[in-house]
Amino acid sequence: MNPKAAPSAINEALLKLRNFENTELKKKNALFMDYLQSGIEVSYSEKGESKSDIIYIADFNNPSNNSFIVANQWTFIENSNNRPDILLFLNRLPICLFEIKPQAVNRLMQAKHIHKFATTCRKFLLCSFTTVSV
């Protein structure tokens, strides 16, 4: 994706992905969309010289350069075992989580389950949650 990028530039981009500058859900989502669409502007030092670059996390010009993986029942451990129903990866980055519940499950239980993922999976997932009931 970024074959000519310096390793320190890529590390800086990963740091930005893991540590959003603000905590509001709407702003986080907007920032992540900007990173996805426009790349991540980074500043880094190489051999004592300050440099800058843009690191891209998706190739929109040539989609075949991207890796898409959909995982069912992916288990990961942070503070406790978590297993989202469906997890979408783009270039090895988890970008979308689907938690499927039957309509018979009341909205309070749905909200509690989504809140559990939102609070325990922060370091794992790049973006925040939006709940849609179908």
Both 39 and 17 in one domain: the answer is yes
For residue 109, being part of any structural domain is answered with: yes
Question: Could you tell me the residue range of the domain that residue 107 belongs to?
Answer: 67-120
Residues 28 and 72 in one domain: no
Output the pTM of the full model.
Answer: 0.67
Asked if residue 77 and residue 51 are part of one domain, the reply reads no
Both 75 and 114 in one domain: the answer is yes
Domain count, the chain: 2
Q: Which helix (H) or strand (E) holds 116?
A: helix 107-120
pLDDT, tens only, 6-54: 999 999 999 988 876 666 777 777 888 899 999 999 999 988 999 999 9
Residue 130 falls inside a structural domain: no
DSSP states along 10-38: HHHHHHHHHS-S---HHHHHHHHHHHHHH
pLDDT digits 0-9 by tens, 54-100: 999 999 999 999 999 998 877 766 666 666 778 888 998 888 777 77
